Each structure stands twice: as structure tokens, then as C-alpha cells.
Structure 1
């Protein structure tokens, strides 16, 4: 099997040509051949083949093309591996790999004759333009890279032949080549040598003069030192001028950090960054101050020096320097020109001409350019070389989205170190023995540093410079929330978290700086855009712009779920800044707005979950607050789930600030969601806060509502006696207030307390029948269905199955009338228990299956799990063992995931049903 890529694609299998006509199939084969005998990830292949015009399902399309390619080449040639595909063949059967091998051997050859032979063989492999018809950015990039290698090989061969006796024969070839590459000084020097050695000294000097004028007119510069030396030697009649001397090879990279740890995945991303589309390959490494951007760049670069034989350029652009302004592009490019061997006098005065010269010097070269600490895209773009063989690595605290959009940059964002990586970093500084001696304290230090490399480095520096300081004392110092940033300060600007964070914030516009402080004060671990808009008192569009600014500065991160979060230490610094720079009234107003947003939106969410219930009344939204509304129950469930931690934190904030109305109303509005999800601990804690807040308000209606949810939460948390103690007083309060509906609610809760406390179903039924007598169906249709359902359940527990079925059928009928899916499903599930008592296994299964399906659909997973256990028992009774194990394991997994959602008897029933 043989493959030709350096010209029109040709494949021969067993000596016969293989037909591969479709462009995408040819692209797939070429993409695999370039990484011969290596696994190429599927997403990399897709990007190579389709570029930005990906099909709807790239992996399926790729699989289809791979199948066709295997048919054409043979099943064993192309194999699927984890995450990608592998093409196996002898590299000597692929002209591209032979070409690259011959170039390497030529570079190492000592004798001119051997070098010339190797280069001639390499160049003879080319029969035309490679990858013709394949037009994705990756193929265009690869094509240009190979053309540059071919061009360099032709110049290397010309150097060898110019040292021979027939240099004049090169004049036509080199002259034609120079016309195609008019600014290449090395090639122009070869033309001059060929003319001179062919006896045409005058023509050689005129060639130099022509080059000098061209450089002056087009680039505003003079010929370089090497070309000037050729001119001088020809001018003085030296019969054997030396070949053009190559410019110096720059090695500007700072030393790689010796204590670098981890980051294996990011290093792999940098390795594959060469696959990025665009005219130049860029890895934009972003991250907050102290996250380790420069360390990552330098560590990766240190292992890649052999891949860039033409040198490495480095500049600190000072984008976030504590004292100096960002470096002007003109200063950076002059430094690069000097490193590339351009004499000071030869540097053109015009900035555009300097950049043009810089790009000309890098044309066809393989140079690594590290642009560290960039302020923004505008500072980076002028310094991008035009040669696709060069690699550029940019570090910045900004995301440089414009660089990604306009130049195909591959963004690489850093996160904090993992606990093992953090421990390894400390060990390299202070030694493993000391860490092992105080292992528990070390774990606490790592937690307090929150994985931030700079914070860990500061801790390591303090430990290393004060060996007598016990780690315990340092941990105690950092554990003090108010003094933690003081503890992460060595007294030097670069080793103080406050100072490093300030470098990022000092360039923020006033609106972004204000939002930065307010976001730190917001309740909860993260925040969504609508809540952030309420916090800032801005429209959503304006808030999105501000958040994007903070995100681009890496002061805020946005997760895959679209929510925004601050690193713990950044948040600590932002809190200090908010207290220092924002008036107390502005901070208070922002927190009131965001709490009101959570309250107002929870009201709409509760209504979506309980569309036929009786929600409490809440006040009008505050100015600057715009509540969300939900199209259906599923949307509301998703919102409650995403915001639960923030809603809990908002309730705690309201407790702390004595916003009593918000406390009890938030607890009430979250009660149904928490009940359905089995979040019993949070439900009980919030209800306890609600009761305290309502009593302090002196609002009777609020007290009755709070008593109701507190008693109910206590029952399902396994403390029915607490409900029995508190409910009689609450019921008396409702009677004095003449609140008939709340009397009914409280009797219903008392019924449940009797069941869970002592299993007294007669007392339970008495209470629930009293509740029924106090209400009309339209008072609260959802509650009316629950009352009918519970009366039926009480009759079932008393052994009166006929009466139970009648009441439960009434509950189902009422639920359907009022479109109460939850109530209907629960009553249907209880009808399953009636059928179970009758021994009607098939009917019981039908009831339980229907109840579970509906309850899962509407998000009431807690009740669905109750019925799953009984459904599994029924499956076992009728011999459906596989189904029984499936549903019982589903129930057990639910109980293990959230044990608070299971009463002991349900859990014991589940385990018993699963036992042999």
C-alpha cells in the first residue's frame, strides 16, 4: 500500500490504484495520514475535514466516511480507538513522511554531496499542489506550512550547489524564484552569488541595489547585515564570497518554573492547539491573577524547544502591571527585531514598516512567540507573525474573545489546582516530611487557599522562610475570614493576593467595578443572569454586558449551566472592596432587590407547581426587580433546582437582616418544591425560621401559614410529637381569628401527625373529616382533593376497602375536574393499595405504574419512590423478577441519594423486597 499526498492524491493497494473520489473522503484519508499510526480524536478529524461547516451530527457523518474508507483500504488499515481513529501503515509508504524524513537527514548531513542528494530526493517527491480541492482552514494551514518547508529546502539545496563549480547554472532558477519571493533576503543573496560566480559582477551589484530600493519603498528599511556582507564581498572582487550568514537564533524564554505541578489536561490541549483553524495557531491562556498562566506557558514551552529550531521570542506586555502602563506595540516589536539580528540603525522608523519587517523575518520560520500578560487583543494582533509554521502563546487576564473570533485563537482557561496537586506544590517548597508530620493541618491550609496557585505559593513561602512557625498557627490565622487576605501577603507586590487582584480591578469601568463588589455580597454560591440584574438594578442586556466584562477579566467564571461564580478568595477581596467603596445604602438596596427577585419568582414558580392551589399574597416587586414567569411545571422545577442553594442563602440573609416578611414567605413558597424533592432538612429549617419571623411580625395569617408548614415539615422529618405539641395552639389561634380555611389546613396536618406519631387512623380520620366539613371544593381545589384522598386512605387502614375505594374514586374524579395531576396520581396510587389488599395484583400494578409515571413527570420524586416499593413487591408476586429488581433498585438508589426523603418503614420495605 502506497500513498501520494505531495501533489494529486494517489492511493495504491496491492499495486492497484484505489478510487477515492469524494472530497470529504479524501480529506479524511489525508487527515489520518498526516498523523500516521497515531490516534486522531474524532472532534479533531471533524474540524480538519469540515472546518466551521460541520454537519448536524459530525460523529455520525465521520463514522459513515470511516466505513467507506475501510472498504477502500481494507478493514485492518483504519481502526476505531477510544475517542478517535487510527490509520496504520509504513511511514515509508507515504511521500509526506518520506519528505520530512529526508529533510531531517539532510539537516544532519556533514558532506555537501550527501546533503544535496537527500534534498534532491526530497524535492523530487513533489508533483504538484498538495490537498488540491480541500479548502478547510486546517488544510490551507498545512498546505502553506509544507510549501514553506519545500521553499526552505530549495534554498538549502541552492546553498550547497553555490559552493560548487557550476554556480552560474543556478541563475535562471534562482531569479525566477526571487520574483515569486521578492522580500526574501536570503534568496536575493543567492541570486547575487550566482550572478557573481557566473562572471556577472555588475548584474550582481545591480541586484543588490534593486533589493535596497524595494526594501526602502515597501518596508521603510535597509538590507540586513548578512545581505550587506555579500554585497561588500562582491564589491571588493572577492572571487569566493561566503554564503549569506544566517541571522541569530533568539532564545528569549525565561526559565521554566521548577515547582510546576499538574495541568496535564491543559498541556495536552496546548499540544493539540496546532489543530486550531485560522491563519495563525494561537493558544490564548486566560485566568484570574495568581492562577498560573505564565507558569503553564513557560512549562509547556520548555518541553517544545526542539519543535522550534528557528528560536523562541518572549515579551511581558505588562497588561496588568502594578506600576507601569501596558507596553506599546512599537516597543515590543523593536525588541523582537533586535533579537532577530536587525541592527539598531536598520530598524525602520515607521511602526508599520517595523511590523512588516518583523513578519518578513519570520516568514517560513518555525519560531515560538510567547506574548505574556497581554492587556487586550489590540496589543496582540500586530505581533502575530504571518507564517503558519510559527506558534503564538498568549497569556492574559482577559478572555481575548476578539482574538478567538478574528484569528482562530484556541482559548485555554485555567482553573484552580486539585487537592493532590496543591499538596504536591507545597511539598516541593517545604518538603514532604514536614507535610506528613502535620497532614491534617496541611489539608486545612489547602482548603483555605482554595486551590489558587499564588495563594499556595505564598503559604509555602511563609512556611519556608519561617521554619519555626507551626503550620497550625498559620492555618488558624487563615481560618479567620476577616484576616485571611492579610495572611496571604508576604509584603512584596507580586506575592500579595490583594495587590495581584487589584491589578485586574483597577482597569474596570465604574459600572463593572460596582457589580464586582455587589456580586460578592449576593446570597448563594453562584448567581444567574436575572438575579444578577436585580442585584445591580439594571436591565438584563446591560447586566449581561457587565458580567461579560468581569468574565473576560477572569474575575468571574461562567459554568456550563450559564451561572456565574467567583473564586472564594476573589470573592473575599471583592467583599472588602464593596465595603470600602460602596455606600451602605447602595449595598442594602442591592440585597433587598435580589431577595425580592427570589421571592417574586418563587411565587410564580409555586403557582406553576400548584396551579390550582391557593398561594399566599406577596407585595409588588421593588423597582429594579423583574420576576421570571414559567411556561409550565417542568420549567419551574428546573428553576427551583438550579436556584435552591441561592434561595436557601437568600432566606438566611433575610433572617440575618430581620426581613421577617421575606423570611416566612420564601419558606412558604419553597415548601412544596422541597416536599416533592425530599429536601426535608432544608424544609424543616426554613419552616422554623418562618414561624419565628411570623411571630415577630405579629401577623396572624403569617403565623397560621408558618405553623402549618412547620408542623408538616416536623412530621416528615420524623418528629411528629413536635407537631402535636404546636398545632393545638395554632388551631386555637385560627378559631379566634375566625379563619375557617386555616382551621381546615391545621386539622389536616393534625391528621398526619396522629398517623406518624401513633398510627391512630381513627383519630386521623376524625381530623380530616373535620377539615372536609370546614371547606368547599372551590375554596382550595388542591386541598379538597388531598382531603378526599386521605379519608380514603384512613378507611383502607381501618380495613374498610369498599369505603376506601369510594372515597379514593371521589378524589380521582375531583382531581380530574380540577386538572390536579399530583392529586390524581396520589389517589390512584392509594387505589393500588386497595387492589393489593384485595389480592388483585394486575390491577394493583396498573395503578402503581400509572401513579409512578405521573408523579415522576411532574417532579414529585418523593411520592413516586413510595409507590415504587409497592410496585416492586407486586412484580415479585406475579413472577416478574427482573422488573421487580429494576424498580426496587430505582427506589433504593433514590433513598441512598437522599435518605432524608425516606421514612424508615419505606426503606425497610424496599430492602426486604430485594432480599432473597
Structure 2
């Protein structure tokens, strides 16, 4: 007791008084038989708000005398202690009335820094650099749970020497349980003036006068004001310092564009942690030794938490509370969209991931809420404007402002113009919302619109990539023309969504659309080397065609599936699918379809160095294409026959075949066929000893493959170009060509990369029997 009386006699600042109050609370909570005296319990016993109790015990607000007396009685003080503490409280008020605290008494209102703060090195350095730009405000924005407050507080603690006149911290409650009643600028200015030492009786009653007094007090101060959890620019603007060295650091889920545009605030957008930072955060909370014992489980947790700091912190807390739990078991609990959100629940609303998301969602307009919910049905990581309009069933011009509202709320990120994405946990949250809020009929209609959009758009892009393809009974693609280059870029951009939409269509019973979409994707997946995806989508197409009972569609799907299998080296399985496809085409009297099966068989045999047999299938394909009156197919079969004859050493006959094919393909405008035949001619001229002509043909083929986005064939042709440079004694050019090829083949994880690496190591002494420029199996 004597020690407490001595401490009370030394009190001269709000911080010192609050420290004594906190010690009293700990003492009272430790008494036997007494319930723990939490902030919530104090609020319940007094009728005060939980927030103001925290302000009193943190030393940010000086309690009025009546409340102070009630508080110290509740904290179990004796009459002598009550008198000593009342004197200490009055002394603090008198000292504050004398003016703004200075030196050791300058306001130090920052919350405690995170002991285990991890990552954000780049963002911290960026904030450091902004100090030289004489900004009066910095806005740190980002999605819910991304760690904006943690970053702001951590940086503010690092900057205490830069702002020796003090640091203020105001929670503006823009988003949270009380977000429907955020702190008004008038009330925030009143709290700020109190923190700056202005006695309550001297705080102006007029809003304008409060703002003027606030800026006057800051005018000559090097002070940092952290304005946390802001909702709008209007809430923040009166709290910005005027001229001088003071700086406001604002955090918000909104991007506060108006503050940036009109008030010169500097924007800093906080994204998800990178994988290394996420691992470090988790290891820092659960212990490095435990994390190192189960690295695979750590990676699984990081992925399931979408690298979101809040989610990682919740999982880390659970792991810390249960040191006997394996990390693998905790990771297993996080699998599945719904179970992830359940596993990330917390009794504290501020730590419950779903609740934290809801505070942003509730601020949206009704139409934007609906778009956000239905967006949870989208199967890809990013949503384009056209897909958003389709899923919402709204015109483009109507959906644009809704997307802009989602961006401002940081519920979606516009990674580049017109592309909107959200991380996995937000996707799971949106999908959960739509299951609860939207009728099954509306969800089904949204899925149907989305599938139809992708089928039509992919068909148009497919025909742009390869105009010679027969749409095979598909509806006419969109009237708009899609340039070849744009089509390839669109396919790559939408690839994950398109693959997901094939599966979505199957799940919805839309088998016709599943087959059509797989058909449209085949050329791009081949050109880009995505052979695993090619196989997966065509397997889905085979199943869809079987359920439809459509034998023509089934034949096409079996043959296209064989192409991915050949590319992947699964030759016997490919042969089985080709046999089924060929029999179906014969049964349907489809000569062109049967011809393409022969063409594919020739390709398969080539991979096994069975060139004479391949020529026989080329001849059969040529005859069947003639019966079908298909000049594009005839030209491609001619090229194939020429290539295989060249591999047999029949170079003069091969040259004649390929020259004839090239002339026909140029007349027909078959760009893909021209590129493949130019490659064949390059090989033939090399074997005839005409290296200059071979190099010319190869370089022409490379340009065309690049224009078409055909990554594999571009890499494959580069190998042969390097061989020709090497044969001509031009080793620098050979190495450059092989290096370009290797970089692509490594990305594609293709086994040919080893052959090219051998060439680079042994100056071309590696194997020379590489598969050639046979055009891939046409998807139709």
C-alpha cells in the first residue's frame, strides 16, 4: 500500500497516472475468488463504453472527476489510496492546462508495437523515403486483414526520433462493429486537442474553431498523427496538419482518392504478404524450430490463409495455444473454402476473419453487394469487365461503377485496367454470402450467363487464332473481329477461368457448353505448352459428349485429347483415343475428320522415329483430305509428308512436297501452316548444305510463331536454327538460339530442355534427332 501511495505522489502525466490504474486492475484481478477485471467487465459494471475504458487505462483520455472516483473504487482501492489518486488526477489536469507537454512529457499515444512484426521491408523503406517529400499526409490502404494498422504502428515506433514532439493515435472507427457510427471530425478534434494538452473547458465548441486551434498547436511541432481506420476523406480532412513538419499517417480500407487528389496525400497500397514474409510471420509466432520441423505444413497454411496477415495470426494463435497439435493437422482443418472460414473464427470480432470482411461488405450499396456475392461463383482468380457484366446480368456501363466501388472498398484489386481480382479467402466469403443471400434460381442463372459468355468469347478468339478451323456445329462467334495477337493474350489472361468454367459447366449439367469451351481452348493450350490443361479439358469434353450422345462431338474430343497425350509422351494412350476417333469419323462418313486422325498418327509415329510408317499415314491423310475437298488439310498433309521424307534422307522429294505446301498455304492464308512448312524447309535446306537459305527459312518461321503465341514451336525451331548456325561455324549465334529455346522449354518443363542444355555444354555435340515442325493436330 505504501508503494502505491508513493507512486501516486510521483504522478505528473496522463501516462504515469494510467500506468498506476493498470497496476491496480492487475492487483484486483489477481485476488482469490474474484472474476478477472477485463475492460469489458469494467464497461458492464459502470455502463461506460468498452472503448472509453480502454482510452482511460491507456492514458489517452483523462477521466472526469466523477468517473475517475468511480473507477478507482471499482479497482479495489482503500480510502487513503482513493485520496492520493484523486490528488494525482487533479495534478495531471493542472499541468496539462499549463500548455502542450514538451520533452519527456510530449504525447506518446501509440499502441504497443508487435514484438513479432514480420516482413514489409519494402513498404517500410518506401514510407521512410516519403519523409523527404514534405507531404502532410500519407494514406495506407488495403483490404481487410492485410495489416495496415500493424504497419502504421510499427513504422511510427521506428520514427519516434524523427518526430520528437510526440505521436498521437486516433481510432476513427471507420470499419468495425461500430462502423455505422464512426468518430465524427468534431469529436476526433476534441480528443486530439485533449491529447495535445488543452483542458476540456478550453476546447472550442465550434468545429471550425477546433480545427484552427488544432493546426495552431501543430504548426511548429515535429509530430506524427496516426489516424487509424478512416472511412472517408471528409472524416480525415479536418485532422490533417497545416504547414510545418507534422505528418498525418492515415490507414483505411478505402483508397481515399479524394484525399490524394485534393489534399496532396501520398497513397501507399498494402498488398498480401509474399510467401517468404508469410512464412516468417507464422514462424515468428509459433517458433522457428516448430516451423522448420514441418515445412510442407507451413506452406499449406500459408496458401490456405491466402497470405493474409490476419488469417495467419489467427492460425498462429491456435497453434501457440496447442503446442501438441501438429502443423499438418492444423493445415488439414483449413482445406475447403467453407472449412477455412470456420477454422479462422475467433471470439474477438477484430480477429474473426469473416466478421472483419463483413465490415467492408456492409458499407457497399445493395447492387454492389450483389455483384460481390455473385463474383464468388466465378471460377478464376480475376474477373474481366465483360465477365462481371455477364455474371450480374447487367450492361457494361452499369457494372463499371459497381466495380469501382468494390475497388474503393479494397474488396477487389484492379491489378491492371479492366482486370479485378480478390484473394482466396474473400472469394470463399463471397461464395458463402451468395449461398445464403441469393436464391438458388438466381445463382443458377448467373452461372448460365457466365458460361455462355465464355463459350461465345472463346469461340471468337479461337477462330481469330486459327481462321481455318471449322466451328464444328458451334454457334457463330461474336460479330466483332478479334485480332490474332489479342486472342492469344485473352486466352492466356483467362486461362484459369476458362478451365474452371469447363468444370463449372460439367457440374451444372451444361455438357454442350463444356464440350464447346474445351474445343475453343485446344489450339491455345497447345501453342502455349499447357498440355496438362489440354488433356484435362479434353477428358471433360469426352465425358460431356458421351452424356450428350453426340458421336461427332465425341470423335472430335477423342482426337483432340490424343494431341495432348502425344505432346506429353503418352503414346499408347494417344493411339487408343485416335483409334476410337477414326472409327467414329468413318462411321459418320466424315472424311476430313478421318484425315486428321491419319495426320495425328503420322505425328505419333514420328515421335518413335518410325518415319516410313509416318509417310504412309501422310499419304492416307492426303487422299482423305482430297475426298473432303479440304485444301487446308491437304497442304498440311503435304508438309507432313515432306518433313518425314526429309527425315528418311529423301531431301529432293521432301523439298518438292514442302514448296508445294507453302504455295498453297500462302494462297489460303493459313498462317499456322505457313510457319510449320517454313520450319520444314529450313531443315531440308540445312540437310542439303544450304545453310544461308536454311537460316532464312527458320528466322521467317520464328517470326510467325512469335506472332501466333506458339511458344513450343518457337522454341523447337530455335533448336534447329542453332544447329544450322553451329554447322556454319557461327557459335555465338548458335548459343544465342539454343539459350532462347532453353528458357522457354524450362518454363514448359519439357524434356527437350535436357537436349538443348547438352548442346550448350558441348557446342552442339548433343543429339540431333529431334522431333520436327509437324503442325499440331487440329482441334476440329
Fold similarity call, TM over 0.5: yes
Offset from partner CA, 1:98-146 (integer Å, 9 cap, x none) = xxxxxxxxxxxxxxxxxxxxxxxxxxxxxxxxxxxxxxxxxxxxxxxxx
Offset from partner CA, 1:377-436 (integer Å, 9 cap, x none) = 111112212224210010111111111111111111222334443444344444444444
Q: State which of 553, 558, 575 in structure 1 corresponds to 2:431.
A: 575
Q: Distance in 1 between matches of 2:628 and 2:583?
A: 24
Offset from partner CA, 1:207-263 (integer Å, 9 cap, x none) = xxxxxxxxxxxxxxxxxx99x99xxxxxxxxxxxxxx99888433322223232221
Q: 1:635 to 1:410 in 2, by over 3 A?
A: same
Q: State which of 614, 634, 639 in structure 2 corresponds to 1:784.
A: 634
Q: State which of 503, 515, 522 in structure 2 corresponds to 1:671.
A: 522
Equivalent in the alignment of 1:235: none
Aligned partner of residue 729 in structure 2, secondary structure: coil
Q: 1:794 to 1:429 in 2, by over 3 A?
A: closer
**Pairwise CA distance, 1:272:** 2.1
Equivalent in the alignment of 2:619: 769
Q: CA contact under 8 A between 1:462 and 1:490: conserved in structure 2? A: no
Q: 1:632 to 1:468 in 2, by over 3 A?
A: closer
Q: Distance in 2 between matches of 1:473 and 1:692?
A: 36
Q: Distance in 1 between matches of 2:125 and 2:671?
A: 51
Q: Relative CO higher for 1 or 2, CA cutoff 8 Å, sep ≥ 6?
A: 2
Q: State which of 496, 499, 510 in structure 2 corresponds to 1:648.
A: 499
Q: Distance in 2 between matches of 1:771 and 1:570?
A: 52
Offset from partner CA, 1:446-494 (integer Å, 9 cap, x none) = 3332322222222232233344444443333223543222222232222
**Pairwise CA distance, 1:886:** 1.4
Equivalent in the alignment of 1:145: none
Root-mean-square deviation (CA, aligned residues, Å) is 3.0
Q: Distance in 2 between matches of 1:245 and 1:759?
A: 92
1:602-617 mapped onto 2 (5 Å cutoff): 602-617=458-473
Equivalent in the alignment of 2:10: none
Aligned partner of residue 137 in structure 2, secondary structure: strand
Q: State which of 237, 243, 248 in structure 2 corresponds to 1:381.
A: 237
Aligned partner of residue 140 in structure 2, secondary structure: strand
Q: 1:431 to 1:802 in 2, by over 3 A?
A: closer
The yes-or-no answer on 1:635 pairing with 2:486 is: yes
Q: CA contact under 8 A between 1:520 and 1:571: conserved in structure 2? A: yes
Equivalent in the alignment of 2:111: 254
Equivalent in the alignment of 2:600: 749
Q: State which of 414, 431, 437 in structure 1 corresponds to 2:270.
A: 414
Aligned residue-pair number: 671
The yes-or-no answer on 1:484 pairing with 2:334 is: no
- 564-573 or 250-259, which deviates more: 250-259
Equivalent in the alignment of 1:456: 312
Q: 1:354 to 1:540 in 2, by over 3 A?
A: same
Q: Distance in 1 between matches of 2:671 and 2:332?
A: 54
TM-score (norm 1): 0.68
1:255-654 mapped onto 2 (5 Å cutoff): 255-276=112-133, 280-323=135-178, 325-560=181-416, 563-619=419-475, 629-654=480-505
Q: State which of 877, 893, 899 in structure 1 corresponds to 2:727.
A: 877
The yes-or-no answer on 1:810 pairing with 2:666 is: no
**Pairwise CA distance, 1:568:** 1.9
**Pairwise CA distance, 1:316:** 0.7
Aligned partner of residue 648 in structure 1, secondary structure: helix
Aligned partner of residue 307 in structure 1, secondary structure: coil
**Pairwise CA distance, 1:719:** 2.7
Q: Distance in 2 between matches of 1:861 and 1:264?
A: 36
**Pairwise CA distance, 1:562:** 5.1
The yes-or-no answer on 1:821 pairing with 2:678 is: no
Offset from partner CA, 1:67-125 (integer Å, 9 cap, x none) = xxxxxxxxxxxxxxxxxxxxxxxxxxxxxxxxxxxxxxxxxxxxxxxxxxxxxxxxxxx
Q: Distance in 2 between matches of 1:268 and 1:527?
A: 32
Q: CA contact under 8 A between 1:891 and 1:910: conserved in structure 2? A: no
Q: Distance in 1 between matches of 2:740 and 2:295?
A: 40
Aligned partner of residue 592 in structure 1, secondary structure: helix
**Pairwise CA distance, 1:779:** 4.9
Equivalent in the alignment of 1:834: 684
The yes-or-no answer on 1:886 pairing with 2:741 is: no
1:63-74 mapped onto 2 (5 Å cutoff): none
Equivalent in the alignment of 1:20: none
- 419-428 or 285-294, which deviates more: 419-428
Offset from partner CA, 1:162-207 (integer Å, 9 cap, x none) = xxxxxxxxxxxxxxxxxxxxxxxxxxxxxxxxxxxxxxxxxxxxxx
Q: Distance in 1 between matches of 2:629 and 2:444?
A: 39
Q: Distance in 2 between matches of 1:809 and 1:433?
A: 67
Q: State which of 839, 851, 860 in structure 1 corresponds to 2:710.
A: 860
Equivalent in the alignment of 1:721: 572
Equivalent in the alignment of 1:730: 581
Offset from partner CA, 1:610-635 (integer Å, 9 cap, x none) = 123323343378xxxxx695542111
Q: CA contact under 8 A between 1:250 and 1:310: conserved in structure 2? A: yes
Equivalent in the alignment of 2:551: 700
Q: Distance in 2 between matches of 1:633 and 1:494?
A: 50
Q: CA contact under 8 A between 2:380 and 2:500: conserved in structure 1? A: yes
Q: CA contact under 8 A between 2:718 and 2:737: conserved in structure 1? A: yes
Equivalent in the alignment of 1:657: 508
Alignment gaps of 5+ in structure 2: 1-93, 767-780
**Pairwise CA distance, 1:849:** 2.5
